[in-house]
């Protein structure tokens, strides 16, 4: 994840030991673990909210498409009726 090798990790651990001392390390580890737990919880909540919004959008789009298919445009229907009336009229051409 961070591309940290064994030597680099050992150097980091030694630096932490020198800065905080051996008595503070368990407290720091607990705080770090608690922070990571809270971060994962917030990340999970954020992801679930995104999924809820996505599902609502999908349902809305699906509903709009179904309604559009069920109710054709009235102007298109009127245009078809007008064309059929023109075709039904007897021709004025002498033939």
pLDDT, one tens digit per residue, over 70-90 is 665 566 666 766 666 666 666
Based on C-alpha coordinates, what's the Rg of the chain?
A: 35
For residue 5, what pLDDT is reported?
Answer: 84
* pLDDT one-digit tens code per residue, 6-33: 888 889 888 888 888 888 888 888 998 9
Token pair of 24 as six digits:
């503070």
**Residue ranges of domains in the chain:** 32-65
**So what's the pLDDT on residue 90?**
62
Going by C-alpha positions, the residue among 31, 34, 1, 28 that lies closest to residue 15 is: 28
DSSP 5-35: -HHHHHHHHHHHHHHH-TTTHHHHHHHHHHH
How far apart are alpha carbons 16 and 23 in whole angstroms?
A: 11
């Amino acid at each position: 994840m961070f591309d940290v090798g064994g030597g680099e990790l050992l150097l980091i651990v030694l630096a932490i030991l020198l800065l905080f001392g051996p008595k503070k390390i368990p407290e720091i580890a607990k705080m770090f673990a608690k922070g990571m737990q809270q971060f994962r919880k917030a990340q999970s909540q954020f992801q679930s909210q995104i999924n809820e919004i996505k599902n609502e959008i999908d349902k809305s789009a699906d509903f709009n498409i179904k309604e559009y298919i069920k109710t054709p445009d009235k102007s298109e229907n009127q245009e078809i009726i007008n064309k059929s009336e023109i075709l039904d009229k007897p021709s004025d051409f002498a033939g």
